[in-house]
């Protein structure tokens, strides 16, 4: 849908609001996914879905209702339902107002090739990936997804914000009878993804992992490649880097603001305007996003806010509202700043340690202590005397994230964007592996 069509639709719905304040949130898009396994494309699907959510405020009481039907009767029912729900709520004395209009940066977040990518184009790109795997007698599986997303907000305070963005997501697992290798990356631009290099990387990891040995659980020096680091940083984002968690004293930063929480080499920011990430110049309330420094050279520096918590805690609104606000403001564009090293240099400088391609099935164990758990997968290697010497049977781990970030020894200059995190590789002095997964068979892991 075009901007003018969406604006007309939201104006029509907003005219039905009979409340102190009202807001309409339009979101959705078109997503195409092509999946492949055993060197064959086996699925192509396209989904298109849009919703409108209405928020009504009546005497500091708030109600929400959502519809994916945009005819006149459905819009009327949605607004009435939101007003009915608001009328039954308890007044919130901390609510001040829906945000007013503010200029937001114009970012070039929608790439035409990515937004309009056809199944044929995705298939052609995947054909080259499969061909490279077949030429080595290997089996390839994965997917390529291209998406166009639309976000628009309008409210009774005169605010209207509209943005359209694109995203391409690629993941690949290459299998031998006894090992597997993985690579993956996302980008707003399909052309920015080097599928050839990603395929070569996954193939190399699968081949290098054919010689496998068991190592006992314990604390090891590790080299975490960017995908593993990104997963860890994503989990860290849910340990309380939003104002709601700080206000409730459930944040990992509670009582630690301004103090050292990580190595002085660590700087973590949230920046929605970085051209390498999926850009959204405003949040789900239409408020312009601000760059927020969360950790600055190892010290806890800030949390993200929305209009409600900015008003309640007398902070600046950083533009990080979530839909309906149930989880409070959250950092959605986490970026761990790079260093000056390379993964190869990290390996060369390691006497004995573990190289990790990625994590799998990560879960938060203790949010305030930033403890998370999970498994290594698809490329875990032993490093000895500056060289990768063999594959390693995958580990389970249980690790305090901030403790890991406090023992960082080097950071790579190259970053990888995946799952909404832009991260470099890290060499960490100590990482706690608590057990091992079951032996690999046919390139798959069965969990004991």
Residue from 237, 233, 271, 232 nearest 252 by CA: 237
195-208 and 119-135 helices cross at what angle (nearest 10)? 30
CB-based contacts of 210, cutoff 8 Å, min separation 6: 176, 178, 179, 391
Tell how strand 334-336 and strand 421-436 pair up: parallel
Residue 102, helix vs strand vs coil? coil
What's the CA gap between 162 and 174, in Å, rounded?
40
3-14 and 72-87 helices cross at what angle (nearest 10)? 50
CB-based contacts of 421, cutoff 8 Å, min separation 6: 230, 231, 233, 234, 237, 334, 335, 336
Give me the pLDDT at residue 439, please: 52
Run of H or E residues at 371: strand 371-384
What's the CA gap between 282 and 326, in Å, rounded?
18
Place of tokens 């660590």: 266
Residues 398, 364 contacting (CB under 8 angstroms) = no
Phi-psi region of 439 (alpha: psi -120 to 50; beta: other; left: phi over 0): beta
What's the CA gap between 409 and 265, in Å, rounded?
8
C-alpha torsion 115→118→124→127, nearest 10: 90
**Tokens of residue 366, six digits:** 């203790």
What's the CA gap between 246 and 322, in Å, rounded?
16
What's the CA gap between 74 and 386, in Å, rounded?
65
Ordered by where they begin, the domains of the chain are 3-179 (3.30.2290.10), 206-233+338-445 (no CATH)
CB-based contacts of 109, cutoff 8 Å, min separation 6: 163, 164, 165, 166, 188, 278, 279, 280, 281
Residue from 193, 182, 196 nearest 132 by CA: 196
Question: pLDDT per position in the chain (448 positions), as tens?
Answer: 899 999 999 999 999 999 999 999 999 999 999 999 999 999 999 999 999 999 999 999 999 999 999 999 999 999 999 999 999 999 999 999 999 999 998 887 799 999 999 999 999 999 999 999 999 999 999 999 999 999 999 999 999 999 999 999 999 999 999 999 999 999 999 999 999 999 999 999 999 999 999 999 999 999 999 999 999 999 999 999 999 999 999 999 999 999 999 999 999 999 998 999 998 899 999 999 999 999 999 999 999 999 999 999 999 999 999 999 888 999 999 999 999 999 999 999 999 999 999 999 999 999 999 999 999 999 999 999 999 999 999 999 999 999 999 999 999 999 999 999 999 999 999 999 999 987 554 444 333 2
Q: What's CA 330's distance to the chain center, in Å?
A: 11
What's the CA gap between 413 and 425, in Å, rounded?
8
**Tokens of residue 434, six digits:** 């608590």
What's the CA gap between 392 and 436, in Å, rounded?
10
Phi-psi region of 24 (alpha: psi -120 to 50; beta: other; left: phi over 0): beta
Run of H or E residues at 143: strand 139-155
């Amino acid at each position: 849908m075009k901007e003018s069509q969406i604006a007309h639709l939201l104006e029509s719905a907003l005219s039905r609001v009979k409340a102190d304040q009202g807001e309409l949130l339009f979101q959705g898009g078109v997503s195409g996914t092509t999946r492949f396994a055993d060197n064959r494309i086996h699925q192509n699907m396209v989904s298109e879905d849009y919703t409108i959510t209405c928020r009504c405020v009546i005497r500091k009481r708030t109600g929400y209702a959502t519809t994916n039907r945009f005819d006149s009767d459905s819009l009327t029912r949605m607004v009435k339902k939101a007003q009915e729900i608001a009328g039954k709520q308890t007044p919130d004395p901390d609510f001040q107002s829906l945000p007013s209009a503010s200029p937001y940066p114009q970012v070039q977040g929608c790439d035409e090739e990515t937004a309009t990518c056809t199944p044929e184009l995705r298939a052609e790109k995947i054909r080259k990936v499969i061909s490279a795997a077949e030429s080595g007698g290997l089996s390839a599986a994965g997917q390529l997804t291209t998406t166009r997303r639309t976000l628009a907000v309008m409210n009774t305070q005169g605010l209207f914000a509209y943005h359209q963005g694109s995203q391409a997501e690629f993941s690949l697992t290459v299998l031998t009878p006894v090992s597997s290798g993985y690579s993956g990356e996302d980008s707003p631009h399909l052309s920015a993804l080097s599928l050839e290099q990603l395929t070569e990387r996954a193939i190399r990891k699968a081949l290098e992992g054919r010689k496998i040995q068991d190592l006992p659980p314990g604390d090891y020096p590790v080299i975490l490649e960017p995908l593993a680091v990104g997963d860890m940083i994503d989990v860290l984002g849910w340990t309380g880097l939003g104002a709601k968690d700080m206000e409730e004293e459930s944040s990992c930063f509670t009582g630690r603001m301004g103090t050292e929480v990580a190595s002085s080499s660590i700087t973590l920011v949230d920046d929605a305007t970085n051209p390498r990430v999926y850009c959204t110049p405003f949040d789900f309330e239409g408020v312009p996003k601000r760059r927020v420094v969360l950790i600055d050279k190892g010290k806890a520096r800030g949390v993200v806010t929305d209009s409600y918590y900015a008003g309640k805690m007398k902070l600046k609104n950083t533009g990080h509202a979530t839909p309906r606000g149930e989880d409070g403001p959250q950092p959605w564009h986490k970026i761990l700043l790079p260093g000056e090293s390379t993964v190869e240099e990290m390996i060369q400088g390691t006497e004995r340690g573990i190289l990790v391609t990625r994590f799998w099935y990560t879960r938060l164990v203790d949010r305030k202590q930033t403890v998370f758990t999970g498994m290594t997968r698809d490329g875990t290697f032993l490093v000895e005397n500056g060289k990768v010497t063999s594959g390693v049977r995958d580990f389970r781990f249980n690790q305090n994230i901030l403790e890991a970030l406090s023992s960082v020894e080097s950071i790579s200059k190259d970053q990888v964007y995946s799952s909404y995190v832009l991260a470099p590789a890290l060499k960490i002095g100590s990482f706690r592996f608590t057990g091992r997964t079951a032996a690999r068979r046919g390139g798959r892991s069965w969990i004991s």
